[in-house]
Homo-oligomer: A and B are copies of this chain.
Amino acid sequence: MISVAIVGGTGYTGVELIRLLASHPQVSVDLLTSRGQAGVRVDEVFPSLRGVSELVYQDMDEATFAALESSDVVFFATPHGVAMQHAKRLTDAGVKIVDLAADFRLQSLSAFESWYKHSHVCPELLKQAVYGLPEITRDQLKSASIVGNPGCYPTTAILGLKPVIECQNAQSKRLIEPKIIVDAKSGVSGAGRKAELGLNFAESADNFKAYGVTGHRHLPEIEQGVEQLLGSQFPHRIRFIPHLVPMIRGMFSTIHLSLTDAGTEINWQQQFEDCYASERFVDVLPAGQYPDTRSVRASNRLRIAVYQDSAHHELTVLVVQDNLVKGAAGQAVQSMNVMFGLDESLGLSHVPLVP
């Protein structure tokens, strides 16, 4: 059994990791830490876990640290800035790390520091870190010791753009115009488990709004995805606007692309289907079928629909995922499976919850 520890297990990604890993046949979750809830049983904080786990949250003291060092893998389900504090010591001890926050997502130090207002304490480890998007970085993940788990929005944007950028690269000519618009919508759980007036039910229910219009931390991550992960041969400008939807889980990205003349010649439905033919967590819907977020609720599936209007030089890509699964904890487990050479779907076979 792989011994797993979760640092910061009181947030939504933490409890989701526990939910998913409970069905993983080769993993044992042995340690949970929390500053705020140290000494409290996890099933007191989350009565949903009664009968599932009897662990007690540990404070981050030396004994806990020693226990972390004897884990096989540590998931950081913490705010930004925590994982990097502990990464060196843990990797030195041979422990693998998956950070669900942003410490190891952006390869560019300056991008990290300007968007997150943190200086990075281990830039040398950042260089080794692998971006945990198995559909793109599977090979690197196999030998990774530190994984930066992608942000939720970037997962939808990068996977939604992958067939397009790859096709464009393959043809070495622009198939889409430089401007890429990602009009994205997220459920409220994406904001985390916290007391915040704007997240109060009476504030956010029966309501819809945009946020982060002037700049959102996931923008540089999407840019990195297009430029470095997908290695676009052509420069692109990403216009990213996130919105808040009165639903608990779910993320929907509407990607508006403009086709060049050459781009109108492509059968994009076919491109997308081919691109993801062997991926079990990415589902390209048949032509004419459009996704809704509940079709992936509580599962690690991400579904994509493509709508091509060559007459108007338009290509619209619709992407849905559960922001807490493929957009966070599920993807982290998927990366872990790759890191340990396991079947990628272990712990991730949940059928979406409908209704």
Contacts and interface: CB of A to CB of B under 8 A. Distances in A.
Given A15-B354, A239-B312, A205 B254 contact: no
Interface string A196-216: 110111111111111101100
A256 B256 contact: yes
B213 A256 contact: no
A349 interface: yes
B205 A248 contact: yes
Nearest to A283: B50
A81 B351 CA distance: 30
A303 B46 CA distance: 13
Contact of A290 (B210, B252, B352): B210
B206 A297 contact: yes
Q: How large is the interface on A (under 10, 10 to 19, 20 to 34, 35 or more residues)?
A: 35 or more
Interface stretch (A67-75, A141-149, A185-193, A265-273): A185-193
A249 B355 CA distance: 8
A207 B292 contact: yes
Contact of A48 (B193, B237, B294, B349): B294
A51 B283 contact: yes
A208 B290 contact: no
A56 interface: no
Nearest to A312: B237
A252 B208 contact: yes
A344 to B, nearest CB: 14
Contacts of A291: 47, 209
A346 B221 CA distance: 42
B256 A210 contact: no
Given A183-B183, A195-B200, A247 B248 contact: no
Interface in A14-62: 15, 18-19, 22-23, 46-52
Interface string A247-263: 11110101010100000
B205 A205 contact: yes
Contacts of A12: 202, 355
Interface string A278-305: 0010010100111111111111010101
Contact of A195 (B183, B197, B293, B349): B197
B246 A201 contact: yes
Contacts of A52: 351
Contacts of A195: 195-197, 199-200
A299 B350 CA distance: 12
Nearest to A245: B208
A91 interface: no
A3 interface: no
Interface of A: 12, 15, 18-19, 22-23, 46-52, 179, 181, 183, 185, 187-189, 191, 193-197, 199-211, 213-214, 237, 239, 241, 243, 245-250, 252, 254, 256, 258, 280, 283, 285, 288-299, 301, 303, 305, 307, 312, 314, 316, 318, 320, 324, 349-355
Given A48-B299, A188-B202, 4 more contacts: A49-B351, A50-B303, A187-B202, A201-B246
5 contacts: A179-B258, A188-B200, A188-B205, A201-B205, A208-B247
